[in-house]
Structure 1
Amino acid sequence: DERHRGQVFRRLTHKNSDTPPTTTSPRRAIQFDLVSPVAAHRPFQVELTLDTAKDVLLLRRIALALALAASGGVFLISLGGFVLVWLGLRPLRELSIQINALAADSLHRRVDGSNQPGELAPLIVQFNDLLGRLEASYEQLEGFNADVAHELLTPLATLTSGAELALSSSKDIGELREALGSSLEDLQRIAGIVHDMLFLSQADRGAVARRVESGSLAALARRVADYHDAALADAGLSLEVVGDAAGAFDVSLLQRALSNLISNASRYATRGTSVRVVIQLLSPDEVLLQVQNQGITIDSKVLPRMFDRFFRADSSRCQADRNHGLGLSIVAAIARMHGGRPTASSSGGITAIGMVVMRFGPGTD
Structure 2
Amino acid sequence: MRARSLTTTLAFAFAATTLAVFAMVGSFVYFALERQVRVQDDLDIVLAARHTRRLAEELQNFADIRRFNERLESQVLGNEALSIGIADASGKLLLQHNLGGAAEGLTPASARVPAAARITDNAIFAATAPDGDPLRILAVDAKLGDGTVATIAIVRNMRDRWLLLDRYRDRLHLAGVAGVLLTFAIGYFLVRRALSPLREMAENAAGVTVDKLDTRIAVEGVPSELEPLIVSINGMLAGLERSFQRLSQFTADLAHDMRTPLANMRGATEVALARPRSVDEYQALLASNLEECDRLSRMIENVLFLARAEHPQFSRHMREFEVAGELHRIAEYFEGLAEEAGVHLTVSGSGHLRADVELFRRAVSNLLANAVRHTPREGAIRLVACADAAGVRVTVENEGAPIDPLLLERIFDRFYRGDPSRAGGPASGSSGLGLAIVRSIMELHDGRVHAESDARNTRFVLSFPPQ
Q: Tell whether the structures are fold-level matches, with TM greater than 0.5.
A: yes
| CA 74–258 in structure 1, closer or farther in 2 if over 3 Å, else same | same
How far 1:278 sits from its partner (Å)?
2.0
| CA 301–58 in structure 1, closer or farther in 2 if over 3 Å, else same | farther
Contact 2:424-2:432 within 8 A present in 1 as well:
no
Structure with the bigger percentage of helix: 2
| CA 62–351 in structure 1, closer or farther in 2 if over 3 Å, else same | same
How far 1:51 sits from its partner (Å)?
5.2
Deviates more, 1:218-227 or 1:1-10: 1-10
Residues in 2 aligned to 1:195 and 1:300: alpha-carbon distance in whole angstroms: 30
| CA 165–299 in structure 1, closer or farther in 2 if over 3 Å, else same | closer
Residues in 2 aligned to 1:31 and 1:163: alpha-carbon distance in whole angstroms: 129
| CA 84–172 in structure 1, closer or farther in 2 if over 3 Å, else same | same
Amino acid in the other structure paired with 1:325: G
Contact 2:402-2:453 within 8 A present in 1 as well:
yes
How far 1:141 sits from its partner (Å)?
0.6
Is 1:77 aligned with 2:183?
yes
Residues in 1 aligned to 2:355 and 2:134: alpha-carbon distance in whole angstroms: 99
1:165 aligns with one of 251, 271, 282: 271
Amino acid in the other structure paired with 1:113: V
Residues in 2 aligned to 1:214 and 1:60: alpha-carbon distance in whole angstroms: 89
Q: Could you give the per-residue CA deviations for residues 308-334 of structure 1, whole angstroms, max 9, x where no partner exists?
A: 222233135424111111111222233
Give the superposed CA RMSD. Answer: 3.4
1:186 aligns with one of 265, 284, 292: 292
Residues in 1 aligned to 2:289 and 2:425: alpha-carbon distance in whole angstroms: 16
2:430 aligns with one of 314, 317, 323: 323
Contact 1:10-1:30 within 8 A present in 2 as well:
no
| CA 232–155 in structure 1, closer or farther in 2 if over 3 Å, else same | same
Amino acid in the other structure paired with 1:333: S
Amino acid in the other structure paired with 2:295: R
1:13 aligns with one of 117, 121, 129: 129
Residues in 2 aligned to 1:44 and 1:359: alpha-carbon distance in whole angstroms: 107
Contact 2:127-2:136 within 8 A present in 1 as well:
yes
Contact 2:389-2:466 within 8 A present in 1 as well:
no
Contact 2:451-2:461 within 8 A present in 1 as well:
no
SS in 1 for 2:409: helix
| CA 151–79 in structure 1, closer or farther in 2 if over 3 Å, else same | same
| CA 303–110 in structure 1, closer or farther in 2 if over 3 Å, else same | farther
Q: Where does 1:1-365 land on structure 2 (aligned, <5 Å)?
A: 2-3=113-114, 5-6=119-120, 7-8=123-124, 10-11=126-127, 13-14=129-130, 50=156, 52-205=158-311, 206-215=313-322, 217-229=323-335, 232=338, 237-269=343-375, 273-283=379-389, 286-321=391-426, 322-337=429-444, 339-349=445-455, 350-357=457-464
How far 1:11 sits from its partner (Å)?
4.6
| CA 66–219 in structure 1, closer or farther in 2 if over 3 Å, else same | closer
Residues in 1 aligned to 2:143 and 2:354: alpha-carbon distance in whole angstroms: 117
Amino acid in the other structure paired with 2:299: I
| CA 271–89 in structure 1, closer or farther in 2 if over 3 Å, else same | farther
When normalised by structure 1's length, the TM-score is 0.79
Contact 1:290-1:352 within 8 A present in 2 as well:
yes
| CA 240–63 in structure 1, closer or farther in 2 if over 3 Å, else same | same
How far 1:204 sits from its partner (Å)?
2.0
How far 1:114 sits from its partner (Å)?
0.9
| CA 239–68 in structure 1, closer or farther in 2 if over 3 Å, else same | same
Residues in 2 aligned to 1:313 and 1:47: alpha-carbon distance in whole angstroms: 116
Contact 1:110-1:128 within 8 A present in 2 as well:
yes
Residues in 2 aligned to 1:287 and 1:9: alpha-carbon distance in whole angstroms: 95
Contact 1:293-1:351 within 8 A present in 2 as well:
yes
| CA 262–59 in structure 1, closer or farther in 2 if over 3 Å, else same | same
Looking at both structures, which has the greater relative contact order when contacts are Cα pairs under 8 Å and sequence separation is at least 6? 1
Contact 2:216-2:237 within 8 A present in 1 as well:
yes
Q: Structure 1 unaligned segments of length 5 or more: list them.
A: 15-20, 361-365
Q: Could you give the per-residue CA deviations for residues 188-240 of structure 1, whole angstroms, max 9, x where no partner exists?
A: 1111111222222222224343345544x334323433444465456654333
Contact 1:292-1:353 within 8 A present in 2 as well:
yes
Aligned length: 347
| CA 301–123 in structure 1, closer or farther in 2 if over 3 Å, else same | farther
How far 1:355 sits from its partner (Å)?
2.0
